[in-house]
């Protein structure tokens, strides 16, 4: 298979795959923003998912038979450009989001996520047990958020800052900072680097201007920052950095859990058993120290209670009839396949949700297995780090399109991983750079 692909798509056609990746990314952004739901609740998620898959496929083919390059040397002009992108892009995003935050005070009637996190933080700061029933909300609720979803706000609470500003700051400084660090290690033509350097800020600004409510009552930017760190860590040589990124993601949201074994397997094959073992061991240690010892060991039913709360929340969303069509608005927003299961499956809501949950797991595991098969077929012709990054984008796109409640703010995560995938699609190598230098050199 690899030989066939190599002969059918020679080196000079690589540019078409790179352009295809750019087109797929553009479609993905548009289908999330101004074209969200444009093709109806059933076709819109199909096109959105296919655009995500097309981006991953084009990126993979663009890097096929291209040897893994050494990290690009740091250049002053690129570092200066990175700082300029961070400052100017940050100002543009803050200017767009400021009216949203200022015009939407925290209100449990609009969204309960921030009031819930405030309860966690208040209990933690006062030395109380965090994971016990909340009774000061309009309804009793057992805490179902993992520690790293609320621990970053302890300092924000102490400083008296709005959690949404804090979350946005984490994304702009930590998440996008990791992206720029990743970008500066890739071999990219200067014009490509310039475009890629401003891309995440453009995407974020486009999101918040196209959808006023996207991050109005949530702290999702913190989770996006964690996953940006994970994507960047794939290209790190440090087991500590990779384990730290995995801990941040696993202890904030479970989305990445099925992909982790694939990543460890790739590290074991490509970096050796000691490196893979160190990443696995440090990740396990971080989970034990940040979750098991301080919280889970105090009450081993915390995890099962959280799962029960997820089921209650899912039933509540599926049972809503407040859209103009009299059906759950979140399911028919054009970003997930839940609308199919709600509409076409028989039985009560619990049965339909159960079917979607099973398909969700099968699809997520299937995406991992398909990525593993692609690696095995192309392992001698592809940088494993490219495969790992592309597989992360493919897996997360699959995971979120099959999720039981396809909230837009959750799905937004996939676009920021796509920024990494698009950047790596345009990566060149040292040999290609040398060839271009030789062509430009004057003939004596």
Residue-wise pLDDT tens digits, 386-410: 999 999 999 999 999 999 999 999 9
Place of tokens 């990445």: 256
Q: Please classify residue 352 by burial: count the beta carbons closer than 10 Å to its beta carbon, then call 0-12 exposed, 13-18 middle and 19+ buried.
A: buried
Q: What is the pLDDT of residue 134?
A: 87
Alpha helix positions (H), 63-189: 76-102, 113-125, 147-150, 153-159, 163-170, 176-184
- Separation CA 10–CA 198 (nearest Å): 31
Number of alpha helices (DSSP H) and beta strands (DSSP E) in the chain: 20, 0
Burial of 193 (0-12, 13-18, 19+ CB in 10 A): buried
| Pick from 352, 357, 440, 335: nearest CA to 404 | 357
Residue-wise pLDDT for 260-302, tens only, equals: 999 999 999 999 999 999 999 999 999 999 999 999 888 888 8
- b/e burial code for range 230-253 (CB count within 10 A of at least 16 → b): bbbbbbbeebebbbbbbbbbbbbb
- DSSP classification of residue 254: G
Instruction: Please report the pLDDT score of residue 437 as a whole number.
Output: 40
Q: Quick one: DSSP state of residue 37?
A: T
**Paired residues of 134 in beta bridges:** 141
- Residue 197 CA to residue 81 CA, distance in Å, equals 8
**Alpha-carbon distance 431 to 435, whole Å?**
6
Instruction: Look at residue 126 in the predicted model and tell me its pLDDT.
Output: 94
Cβ atoms within 10 Å of 360's Cβ, excluding its own: 20
**Half-sphere exposure (Cβ direction) of 319: Cα atoms closer than 13 Å:** 10
Beta bridge partners of 141: 134
HSE of 323 in the Cβ direction (CA atoms, 13 Å)?
14
Distance CA(412)–CA(335), nearest Å, equals 10
**CB burial of residue 148 (10 Å; 0-12, 13-18, 19+):** buried
User: Which residues are CB-neighbours of 61 under 8 A, at least 6 positions away?
Assistant: 5, 9, 14, 17
For 296, the token pair is 């889970």
pLDDT of residue 297: 87
Q: What is the pLDDT of residue 3?
A: 52
* CA proximity to 280, closest of 234, 240, 235, 253: 240
Number of Cβ within a 10 Å radius of residue 133: 10
- C-alpha 138/C-alpha 348 separation (Å) is 27
Residue 325, Cβ density class (10 Å: 0-12 exposed, 13-18 middle, ≥19 buried): exposed
Task: Evaluate whether 234 touches 241 at the Cβ level (below 8 Å).
Answer: no
- What mean pLDDT value characterizes the chain? 89
Tokens of 246: 């995995």
Tokens for 219, please give them.
């702290």
Distance of CA 371 to the CA centre of its chain: 17
**Nearest residue to 378 (alpha-carbon basis) of 72, 69, 67:** 67
Closest CA relative to residue 64, chosen from 386, 320, 346, 328: 386
pLDDT the model gives residue 440: 39
Tell me how far apart the alpha carbons of residues 134 and 117 are, in angstroms, rounded to a whole number. 11
Which 8-state DSSP code applies to residue 134? B
Q: What pLDDT score does 110 carry? A: 81
Q: Which of 69, 413, 363 is nearest to 249 (CA)?
A: 413
The pLDDT profile of the chain, 444 residues, written as one tens digit per residue, is 545 444 444 556 789 999 999 999 999 999 999 999 999 999 999 999 999 999 999 999 999 987 766 666 767 788 888 888 889 999 999 999 999 999 999 888 888 899 999 999 999 999 999 988 888 888 888 888 899 999 999 999 999 999 999 999 999 999 999 999 999 988 889 899 999 999 999 999 999 999 999 999 999 999 999 999 999 999 999 999 999 999 999 999 889 999 999 999 999 999 999 999 999 999 999 999 999 999 988 888 888 877 787 888 889 889 888 877 888 999 999 999 999 999 998 888 999 999 999 999 999 999 999 999 999 999 988 999 999 999 999 999 999 999 999 999 999 999 999 999 999 999 986 545 444 444 334 433
């Amino acid at each position: 298979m690899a030989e066939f692909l190599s002969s059918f798509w020679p080196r000079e056609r690589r540019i078409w795959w790179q352009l295809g990746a750019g087109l797929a990314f553009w479609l993905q952004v548009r289908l999330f923003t101004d074209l969200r739901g444009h093709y109806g609740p059933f076709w819109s998620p199909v096109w959105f998912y296919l655009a995500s898959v097309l981006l991953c496929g084009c990126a993979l083919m663009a890097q096929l038979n291209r040897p893994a390059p050494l990290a690009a040397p740091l250049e002053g002009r690129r570092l200066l450009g990175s700082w300029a992108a961070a400052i100017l892009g940050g100002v543009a995003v803050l200017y767009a989001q400021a009216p949203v935050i200022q015009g939407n005070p925290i209100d449990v009637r609009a969204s309960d996520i921030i009031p819930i996190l405030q309860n966690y933080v208040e209990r933690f700061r006062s030395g109380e047990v965090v994971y016990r029933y909340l009774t000061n909300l309009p309804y009793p609720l057992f805490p179902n958020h993992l520690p790293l979803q609320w621990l970053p706000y302890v300092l924000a609470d102490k400083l008296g800052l709005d959690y949404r500003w804090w979350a946005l700051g984490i994304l702009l400084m930590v998440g996008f900072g990791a992206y720029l660090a990743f970008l500066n290690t890739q071999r990219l033509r200067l014009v490509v680097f310039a475009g890629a350097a401003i891309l995440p800020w453009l995407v974020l600004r486009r999101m918040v201007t196209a959808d006023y409510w996207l991050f109005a009552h949530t702290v999702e930017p913190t989770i996006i920052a964690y996953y940006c760190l994970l994507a960047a860590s794939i290209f790190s040589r440090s087991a500590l950095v990779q384990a730290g990124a995995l801990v941040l993601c696993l202890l904030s949201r479970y989305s990445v859990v099925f992909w982790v074994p694939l990543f460890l397997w790739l590290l074991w094959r490509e970096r050796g058993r000691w490196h893979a073992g160190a990443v696995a061991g440090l990740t396990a240690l971080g989970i034990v120290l940040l979750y098991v010892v301080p919280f889970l060991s105090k009450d081993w039913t915390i995890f099962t209670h959280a799962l029960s709360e997820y089921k209650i929340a899912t039933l509540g969303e599926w049972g809503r009839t407040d859209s103009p069509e009299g059906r759950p608005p979140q399911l028919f927003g054009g970003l997930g396949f839940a609308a199919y299961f709600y509409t076409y499956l028989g039985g009560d809501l619990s049965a339909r949700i159960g079917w979607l949950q099973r398909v969700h797991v099968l699809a997520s595991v299937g995406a991992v297995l398909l990525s593993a098969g692609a690696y095995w077929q192309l392992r001698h012709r592809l940088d494993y780090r490219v495969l790992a990054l592309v597989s992360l984008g493919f897996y997360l796109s699959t995971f979120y399109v099959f999720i039981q409640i396809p909230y837009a703010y959750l799905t937004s995560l996939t676009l920021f991983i796509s920024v990494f995938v698009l950047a790596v699609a345009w990566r060149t190598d040292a040999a290609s750079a040398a060839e271009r230098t030789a062509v430009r050199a004057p003939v004596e």
